[in-house]
Structure 1
Amino acid sequence: MKKIYYFILKSFIGPFVVTFTIAMVFLIMQFLWKYVDDIMGKDVGMLVILKLLFYTSANIIPMALPIAILFSSIMTMGNLAETNELTAMKSSGISLFRMMRPMVVFVVFIAIGTFYFSNYILPIANLKQRALIYDLQQKKTTFYIPEGIFYNDIDGLSLKVDSKDEETGVLNGVLIYTNNPARTIRSERGEMIFSDNNDYLFLKLSNGAIYEESSFMAQKNDPYPYSKTFFKETILKFDFSNFNLQKTDENLYKRDFEMMNFLQLDRKLDTIIIDFDSIKYEFKKRVKNEVFVLDDRLNVPTKFVTRDTALAEENMVNDRIIDSIFTIQEMSDLSYSQALKLAQVNIRARKDFSYNFLLRSKGRNQMINDYKVAWHQKFTLSFAVIVLFFVGAPLGAIVKKGGLGLPLILATVLFLFYYIITITGENLVESNVLTPFYGIWLSAFFLVPVGVFLSIQSANESALFDVEVYKQFFKKFKSK
């Protein structure tokens, strides 16, 4: 039996490694195609490119791993069924689920490793990749001055040269326009010198002139005077830091819920929920104490009582309880005006207070949803690996086709189905249509019944995908 297990496991690991590698290469190429404009022509060095590819590889594993498990399981069971090895093992008394046992153990180990990967490694890789891509996007292309064309990539400077010596870097016929201050510089010869850290460019010019407008000296409607200065040699300094790869502070891209493991997320959720409950309690308490509309009786201060002198003396100590809103007509004009202004102020204050509470509630609810989504996502990848295996392995045993043809088509269709449902669930959570639990586990709700159904059909040797069975059924239906 050990030899059979070893044979089945070997038949599964080979296609899994090949499929996983192909999926990784394909997804990395897709990433490079997306960000090719941010990488090419910037002379960032091979080390930076390798770091970017390393972080990218870690971030695309959640997509490459499920499709590799799905395809390799379909392909392995399909090959065994197509070569009648599956039939031979069944005839010797080995059930389908017993044959799948070594693959199940292998997939469970992968799922456990995937959990630790998504819990500890993936957040850091995601942060590193995000910061590095931003740095590459901010870096300008390699400094290169063409002949006879204005070069405008240096901030505040437009530069044109008639010719240049590629070996020495000497520029001939230099024409420069600067913005701050606004001036024009002409020079017969120029030489570029970079600082030690390449943050500054020093342009050494020889035999030229500087033309500078002096508009602040001119009167209104007068022509602008300008100054003309000749020089034998001068040096201009320009900021060149944008042409270097600047390392951005990673804390700018760090969100707490992305950098925590599931235990830290659980403790943080409890803290946020308790804090939110206290906020809601304070709001209810203030509404109950201050918004009198909720009472069936209204307390009015002494200065707003009626003109009835007998009752006025009684209200010097206690506020009078007004049972009818029509008693307000008995107030004096001054008291009525004061009461109206006070009511308007109170209404605006209650409105602002309620609106601020609503904003705080939305912010807290969004924060709670973010932490819950991050908590559930620690487990969804591991669960998807197991579920897709139990979808692919029985399906391969049913279709009885190996190779790269039908298994690849089925794996692609099923993975697209899984991916679309997963993205749809995440979008529904962001739109507050579904709770984080139902949104993140939406794909599992669809795939688990499919896996159970296919497992039962495979164990019963169902001809679910046998075309001849359907042809015979339609022939009988047509004859009737």
Structure 2
Amino acid sequence: MKKIHLLIIKTFIRPFIATFFVVMFILLMFFLFKYVDDLIGKGFEWYTILELMYYQSMVQISMALPLSVLLSSIMTFGTLGENYELVAIKSAGISLQKAMQPLVVLILCLTVSSFVFSNYILPKANLKFYSLMYDVRNKKLAFLIKPGVFNNSIPDYSIRVDSKDEDGKMFGIMIYDHKGTNGIPKVIMAKEGEMKKSEDGKFLIFNLKNGVTYEEQSSSSGVYNPRQILSRSRFKETEPKFSMESFDMQKTDQGAFGNSTVMLNLKGIVRKRDSLSKQMDTLYRNTGRSLGNNFKQNNIAIGYSKLKVAPKKIDDNILKSIPNGSRLSSIQSASNTITVITQSLANSVPRDEDLKGEIIFTSVEYQRKFTLAASCVLLFFIGAPLGAIIRKGGMGLPVVIAISFFLVYHIVTTVAEKSAREGSINPVFGMWIAFIILTPLAVFLTYKATADSALFDINQYKQFFVKLFKLKQR
């Protein structure tokens, strides 16, 4: 490999790694802002949040990778052009295409890696993320006791405190124990106390001081007795225990999410689409058979009679062909038939729409596996010529141009994907429309960069309009 190729690769890798991690950091911050209500105040361990962010970072690679390729390619060739290194490369007899060859090979390797990632790793990351996020959203609120408010986080207990200090000590404690009392609560009142966990973390221990316990015995007959016994006992210090099982985050079986389309690879998506198509065929067959039975003539004499009767022509007014005595019964029979058909369609149409939507979604996710890889190649052939044309490096103009082109690509892809999922356009065309639109632009920019065109030179446009203005004056 030539030294010039190593120089270009090193110039590309540094901004690529930097921009990739910057973009990932920004996307993770957006994720935290979006789900902050689900994460704060629920007593999660730090590693649970880190695990959630790790899986989310795997999901966000599909957006961070193309943007990093576009941005780093613009910065690389913009820096080379700004430092007149591209001029030196061309003066040595190396064209822009040959200078781009090592990066093309690198991008192709990155493209293959991104396809393998989206087909094998991303489905598993989606499965882990959505199952863990489901557990997070369904976890009970953390045991935060607020003064003056009854807290019912622990099953069968209601706890209230008058005040708390900064050290965690509580004053004016009242505990209602509804566990195994047949509706008659056991009341514990204490002047002060503090809360701590047991060594194994399975129990919550209240260290109560200077209090009293009230307990009313229930009637054995189940009938209220005004003379039943009320016991009262005082204590200087006691430590009731409460089970912490209700606060543990239960792990959901990941198999419950495994059939979701976003958690399948290409083979799984194909199998699911075939299964959905079979279900739709079965639905059409059963619906057609059910509706066809309403129009068939039921007559046990059919096939046994040798009489041949000419078919009777029916005019536009069908009632005229029906005898007067049978018209009312015919109308009622037709009305009943229409009612049965309407009810049958009302049951089958929603299921048909759901199946169509799922089949379209499988086609969208199938194409997404390839569009992630193709977007890296497309955005590279947009970014590299742009950098060679604008000849500006750093984080200024290249960042603005890169974000502008990426927004165009992302908006077109999002709108087309939404239209495809709604059934307005073909799913294959919808997922590739951004690639189809921007490919001519990539070819045009590559041609202009190869021809050393001053596409963004303002002076060229000024001279053009000056000449045009002079021609008009003549």
User: TM > 0.5 between the two?
Assistant: yes
2:47 alignment partner AA: L
Q: Does the Cα contact within 8 Å between 1:209 and 1:228 map onto a contact in 2?
A: no
Query: Distance between the aligned counterparts of 1:279 and 1:41, measured in 2?
Result: 47
Measure the CA separation in 2 of the matches of 1:188 and 1:300.
86
Matched, 1:69 2:59: no
* Larger displacement relative to structure 2 (335-344 or 118-127): 335-344
Shift of residue 387, structure 1, vs aligned partner: 0.3
Structure 2 CA distance, aligned partners of 1:106 and 1:153? 59
Output aligned runs, 1:115-264, within 5 Å: 115-140=115-140, 142-145=142-145, 149-150=148-149, 152=151, 154-155=153-154, 157-161=158-162, 166=167, 172-176=171-175, 181=183, 185-188=188-191, 192=195, 198=201, 201=204, 203=206, 207-210=211-214, 229-232=231-234, 238=242, 240-264=244-268
Question: Which range moves more in the overlay, 190-199 or 55-64?
Answer: 190-199
Cα separation, partners in 2 of 1:441 and 1:179, compared to 1, 3 Å: farther
Contact 1:300 1:322 in 2 (8 A): no
After superposing the two structures, state which structure 1 stretch, 383-392 or 133-142, moved more. 133-142
2-structure distance, mates of 1:425, 1:7: 39
Relative to structure 1, the CA distance from residue 464 to residue 225 in structure 2 (aligned partners, 3 Å threshold; closer, same or farther) is farther
1:323 corresponds to which residue? 313
Contact 2:70–2:380 (8 Å) recurs in 1 = yes
Deviation at 1:453, TM superposition (A): 1.4
Percent sequence identity over aligned pairs: 35
> Which runs of 5 or more residues in structure 1 are unaligned?
293-298, 304-313
Aligned to 1:409: 400
Hey, what's the Cα distance between the residues in 2 that align with 1:443 and 1:417?
9
Q: Any conservation in 2 of the 1:301–1:320 contact (CA below 8 Å)?
A: no
Tell whether the 8 Å contact from 1:188 to 1:208 is kept in structure 2 after alignment.
Answer: no
Please identify, of 384-393 and 237-246, the stretch whose mean Cα deviation from structure 2 is larger.
237-246
* CA RMSD between the two structures: 3.7
Deviations 1:343-376 (A, max 9, x none): 3332222222333332232122112112111111
* Aligned-partner Cα distance in 1 for 2:291–2:164: 78
- 462, 468, 472: which one aligns with 1:477: 468
Shift of residue 116, structure 1, vs aligned partner = 0.6
CA contact 2:357–2:422 (8 Å) conserved in 1 = no
Amino acid paired to 2:160: L
Q: Judge conservation of contact 1:42–1:139 (CA < 8 Å) in 2.
A: yes
Q: Look up the equivalent residue of 2:161 and give its one-letter code.
A: K
Structure 1 residues 279 and 320: alpha-carbon distance in aligned structure 2, compared to 1, 3 A threshold: farther
Counterpart position of 1:454: 445
Taking the TM superposition and a 5 Å limit, the aligned residue runs for 1:38-53 are 38-53=38-53
Q: CA deviation at 1:318?
A: 8.2
Secondary structure of 1:94's aligned partner: coil
Which SS does the other structure have where 1:78 is aligned?
helix
Deviations 1:138-193 (A, max 9, x none): 445554546x5436262552410556795xx8755322357884755423455657
* Aligned residues of 1:20 and 1:68 also touching (Cα < 8 A): yes
1:230 Cα deviation from its structure 2 partner: 1.4
CA distance in 2, matches of 1:89, 1:116: 35
The range that moved more, 454-463 or 196-205, is 196-205
TM-score (norm 2): 0.82
The alpha carbon displacement at 1:251 in A equals 3.3
- Secondary structure, counterpart of 2:172 in structure 1: strand
Q: Work out whether residues 302 and 316 of structure 1, in 8 Å CA contact, stay in contact via their aligned partners in 2.
A: no
Q: Match for residue 306 of structure 1?
A: none
**Does residue 1:276 correspond to 2:287, yes or no?**
no
Instruction: Tell me the matched-pair count.
Output: 454
Instruction: Report Cα offsets for 1:20-55 as digits up to 9, x if no partner.
Output: 122122222332333344334544333223322221
Structure 2: how far apart are the matches of 1:319 and 1:263? Answer: 59
Quick one: distance in 1 between partners of 2:375 and 2:166? 61
Residue 389 of structure 2 contacts residue 455 of structure 2 at CA under 8 Å; is this kept in 1? yes
Unaligned runs of 5+ in 2: none
Deviates more, 1:200-209 or 1:118-127: 200-209
User: What is the TM-score when the length of structure 1 is the normalising length?
Assistant: 0.81
**In the TM superposition, what is the alpha-carbon distance from 1:394 to its structure 2 partner?**
0.6
Q: 1:189, 1:396 → 2: CA distance? A: 70
